[in-house]
């Protein structure tokens, strides 16, 4: 196995471990309840569309990936 692939797997595993620990701690409990997240409740129907949360996650992941590519390429 190529050592570069091994380094990437370790990095990705560490990222998921840290993300899991942060999620378990409840530090990001506000995520999913941001202004702009659409939540419609009716008697027999419920719609939840977290558009603002998706944008925030997309921006953060883009920054993380660009940071990783800058230092590992």
pLDDT tens sequence across 10-62 = 888 998 999 888 888 888 777 778 899 999 999 999 999 999 999 998 999 99
**In the chain, how long is the greatest CA-to-CA distance?**
56
Residue written as tokens 């944008």?
Answer: 55
Do residue 36 and residue 71 come from a single domain? Answer: yes
Q: What is the DSSP letter of 59?
A: H
Q: Which residues pair with 39 in a beta bridge?
A: 48
Strands 46-49 and 38-41: antiparallel
Q: Which is higher by pLDDT, 65 or 72?
A: 65
Distance CA 63, CA 73 (A): 15
Question: φ, ψ for residue 17 (rounded to 5)?
Answer: -65, -50
Do residue 40 and residue 56 come from a single domain? Answer: yes
> What is the predicted pLDDT for the residue at 63?
94
Whole domain around residue 72: which residue ranges?
Answer: 31-73
Do residue 39 and residue 73 come from a single domain? Answer: yes
């Amino acid at each position: 196995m190529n050592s570069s692939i091994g380094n990437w797997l370790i990095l990705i595993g560490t990222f998921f471990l840290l993300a899991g620990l942060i999620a378990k701690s409840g530090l990001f409990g506000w995520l999913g309840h941001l202004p702009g997240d659409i939540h419609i409740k009716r008697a027999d129907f419920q719609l939840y569309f977290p558009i603002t949360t998706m944008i925030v996650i997309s921006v953060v992941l883009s920054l993380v990936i660009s940071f990783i590519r800058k230092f590992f390429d």
